[in-house]
Chains A and B, each alone.
Chain A
């Protein structure tokens, strides 16, 4: 027994010594890059459901870029959106294998900026001839801590899709307020029990946020650099309650809708299962390919008073340059080429993505009426999620969806659900 005890004591103290003496591995801080004018430029772009049109537009840009820069090659890697976290973590941990230019979502800016791996492009954008044409509200989504970490490439704006045939049949007009939207949705489900009044889901944060913002609330506020949750404010509570009320048996039964994501909500509408949905400009192609082709229209999501528009979430993708890039100048030039007017228009034609340059947007809206509701929504003012790394955690922990689902299914009352959400959010804001 004594031997055993000695052995245990030795192993415990050895383990403690190991722990005290060692620390987890960290990679060395990213070395500052260079400004070579030749060589291979490595570019990461997101893979899409149907990549061919995007690839074609990008290939054209590469050809143009290579013609203008002798001795330069561009190597594009397609990053799957779902696997981006691992891919980017790898790039942050091993700067030597990081790309020069990368596409990423603007909701990731704050957490990526925190790793110190991305270049501050503020100076590059202000000296770019087309930089002044960038919509300020969209450019804001590329900022974290006062620095700009990416060139806005395209933006995603959501609006209200509705079934023109169903509305005509039931004698409804497109809703002018959110209260009217709820009434219309209820009428549709009552008259046509096979249709959800509006297909929105408990996991569709970007459909929930406009309800909060339209009611004058927000999810968090910043005081002296510190974020705190504001979901318990009267305004936010009204917005969240209004949204949760859509996930009820008389509109979109919780058994079917409580767990829907954004894509699933739009898919239900495209498949002819719903009278309305909240969808983005980027969803239009999918809806066009669905059963409701030719039987739907899009208007801006209304606010709380007639004539107002609910502020939309300013989603979108950016082109960033890695700080460790050995070809900083080339990388910025390539990003500027892709994000410039010419290729924004080509990307719009290829993918239907809303451009971030005001002049391109106006030009396209004039020639393509389907773009109007999205441009109008953008012009009415957009909002963004808290630009802090804490938000990514709140988002991945499903804090707001859980609250909405608890309210919608009656698992918790509004106050209880929002109190839990507040606690979880503040813990993540730190």
Chain B
């Protein structure tokens, strides 16, 4: 929209320049076309269908062509927004995702700093362990964690009760609302911190040694140079890692579904994605499910948008 206003503000440039600009535009268009077509086919069309379906009563019979389509307008959205459970689940999802994002950023960044300070062998071991966690399939990881934290046969309870915490002998980690969320969050952090670690490590390593040297020559303490030199320089990467984490952790499905048996006792550990699956897709109410999908997309887009904007304001070079 900004570009639309440009011709009004800027006086008409001389003719030859305009021609060249047009040629530039055409070339740019050509370069963008392949990606554009791919995006249109894989992103725009599905989202268009998603939005469309969310305005209809669209179930399996409608998809199979055995029942007529009924246009509902915003009824699916109204039903969703009037559902008390939706708001509870949304609030819990936000809290859960926030914990996961903060957790994986803190753990990932801390380990990246550690990795940049240690020798090659421990660093390699650290990276191997992190990559192992990263490459474990979500379902396998969830089950391994479940086995470790099993009430009766789990290693964790055995060790805890062995070293004196006898109260933990038959502790159920997945029963309490916070206990279950905490356990799942730990698992999510475990499998998503390696991305932050690798990204931040690359960022820290890319800082020229001269800059840090100059800072220390100017008498900056370690803390000061981290805060005033390293952090601003890795900021773009930190932003990417944050946005990625927000998007991933907001959409967690497998871990919650597997580790809390589909949303915990009486559904108190539901997050938005599992809720959508349970309310709509498992019951083949694709219309309502699409409405949830649209709401989720809008939420994520607005979070990302706000974040990008705040970043753009605070750092001119971004």
Whether A85 contacts B282 in the complex (CB less than 8 A), given A19-B55, A406-B266, A409-B265, comes out as: yes
Q: From B5, B65, B175, name the one whose CB has the most chain A CB atoms within 10 angstroms.
A: B65
Is A4 an interface position by the 8 A CB rule? yes
Stretch of B56-64, B107-115, B123-131, B192-200 contacting A (4+ beta carbons < 8 Å): B56-64
Is B262 an interface position by the 8 A CB rule? yes
Q: Is the CB of B278 within 8 A of A397?
A: yes
Whether A259 contacts B279 in the complex (CB less than 8 A), given A26-B69, A116-B61, comes out as: no
Give the residue of B5, B52, B64, B268 whose beta carbon is less than 8 angstroms from that of A19.
Answer: B52
A-chain residues with CB within 8 Å of residue B67 when the two chains form the complex: 114
Is B53 an interface position by the 8 A CB rule? yes
Roughly how many angstroms separate A203 CA and B263 CA in the complex, as a whole number?
11
Q: Is the CB of B282 within 8 A of A396?
A: yes
Q: Is the CB of A26 within 8 A of B279?
A: no
Give the residue of B8, B49, B170 whose beta carbon is less than 8 angstroms from that of A25.
Answer: B49
Whether A397 contacts B279 in the complex (CB less than 8 A), given A258-B175, A405-B265, comes out as: yes
Q: Is the CB of A117 within 8 A of B172?
A: no
Is B236 an interface position by the 8 A CB rule? no
Range for the number of chain A residues in contact with chain B:
35 or more
A-chain residues with CB within 8 Å of residue B283 when the two chains form the complex: 392-393, 396-397, 428
Roughly how many angstroms separate A28 CA and B63 CA in the complex, as a whole number?
9
Whether A255 contacts B172 in the complex (CB less than 8 A), given A115-B64, A116-B61, A397-B278, comes out as: yes
Whether A29 contacts B152 in the complex (CB less than 8 A), given A24-B52, A256-B172, comes out as: no
Is B1 an interface position by the 8 A CB rule? yes
Is A70 an interface position by the 8 A CB rule? no
A387-430 interface bits toward B, Cβ cutoff 8 Å, 1 = contact, 0 = none: 00000110011100110011001010000000000000000100
B-chain residues with CB within 8 Å of residue A405 when the two chains form the complex: 265-266
Instruction: Name the CB-closest residue of A to B73.
Output: A19
Q: Is the CB of B175 within 8 A of A115?
A: no
Q: Is the CB of A256 within 8 A of B151?
A: yes
A-chain residues with CB within 8 Å of residue B263 when the two chains form the complex: 398
A-chain residues with CB within 8 Å of residue B8 when the two chains form the complex: 3
Give the residue of A3, A92, A396 whose beta carbon is less than 8 angstroms from that of B278.
Answer: A396
Is B203 an interface position by the 8 A CB rule? no
B298 to chain A, nearest CB (A): 14
B-chain residues with CB within 8 Å of residue A402 when the two chains form the complex: 266-267
Residue total for B at the interface (Cβ-Cβ under 8 A): 43
B-chain residues with CB within 8 Å of residue A117 when the two chains form the complex: 64, 66
Q: Is the CB of B58 within 8 A of A24?
A: yes
Is B260 an interface position by the 8 A CB rule? yes
B245 to chain A, nearest CB (A): 28
Q: Is the CB of B65 within 8 A of A29?
A: yes
Whether A115 contacts B60 in the complex (CB less than 8 A), given A85-B282, A89-B284, comes out as: yes
Roughly how many angstroms separate A333 CA and B174 CA in the complex, as a whole number?
50
Q: Is the CB of B151 within 8 A of A116?
A: no
Q: Is the CB of B284 within 8 A of A23?
A: no
Is A202 an interface position by the 8 A CB rule? yes
Is A245 an interface position by the 8 A CB rule? no
Roughly how many angstroms separate A398 CA and B261 CA in the complex, as a whole number?
11
Whether A24 contacts B278 in the complex (CB less than 8 A), given A259-B175, A393-B285, comes out as: no
Chain B, 252-267, CB within 8 A of any chain A CB: 260-267
Roughly how many angstroms separate A51 CA and B51 CA in the complex, as a whole number?
42
Chain A, 177-215, CB within 8 A of any chain B CB: 202-203
Q: Is the CB of B266 within 8 A of A24?
A: no
Is B4 an interface position by the 8 A CB rule? yes
Q: Is the CB of B266 within 8 A of A411?
A: yes
Q: Is the CB of B4 within 8 A of A114?
A: no
Instruction: Name the CB-closest residue of A to B62.
Output: A26
Interface residues of A (CB under 8 A from B): 3-4, 7, 18-19, 22-30, 85, 89, 92-93, 111, 114-117, 202-203, 254-256, 258-259, 261, 273, 392-393, 396-398, 401-402, 405-406, 409, 411, 428
| Given A27-B64, A254-B175, A409-B265: 11 more A-B contacts, CB < 8 Å | A24-B49, A27-B65, A30-B66, A85-B282, A89-B60, A111-B60, A114-B61, A116-B61, A202-B265, A258-B266, A398-B262
Report, nearest first, the 9 A-B pairs whose CB atoms are least far apart: A393-B283, A396-B282, A116-B66, A405-B266, A255-B172, A92-B64, A255-B175, A115-B64, A29-B65
A-B contact pairs, 29 of them (CB 8 A): A3-B5, A4-B1, A4-B4, A4-B5, A19-B55, A22-B52, A24-B53, A24-B56, A24-B69, A25-B49, A26-B69, A27-B63, A27-B65, A29-B64, A29-B65, A30-B64, A92-B63, A116-B66, A203-B261, A255-B172, A256-B172, A258-B265, A261-B261, A396-B282, A397-B278, A398-B262, A402-B266, A411-B268, A428-B283
